[in-house]
Amino acid sequence: MNEYVFITRVNPEELTQEDVATVRKGWDELVEKWKAANHYLSGTPVVKPGYVVTANQAAAGVIQEKGQRVVSFMYIAAASDEQAQELAAMVPVLPFGGSVEIRHR
CATH of the domain at 38: 3.30.70.1060
Percent of the chain with pLDDT over 70: 100
Q: How far apart are CA 31 and CA 43, in angstroms?
A: 9
4: amino acid identity, one letter: Y
Helix (H) or strand (E) holding 24: helix 17-36
- For 28-68, the pLDDT digits (tens) are 999 999 999 999 999 999 988 788 888 888 888 777 777 88
Residue 85: predicted pLDDT: 98
pLDDT band of 76, cuts 50, 70, 90 = very high
Mean pLDDT of 1-28: 94
- For residues 51 and 93, the model is more confident at 93
Burial 41-56 (b: 16+ CB within 10 A, else e): bebeeeeeeeeeeeee
| Count of domains forming the chain | 1
Per the structure, the complete domain to which residue 53 belongs is given by 2-104
Q: For the CA atoms of the chain, what is the radius of gyration?
A: 15
Mean pLDDT in the chain? 93
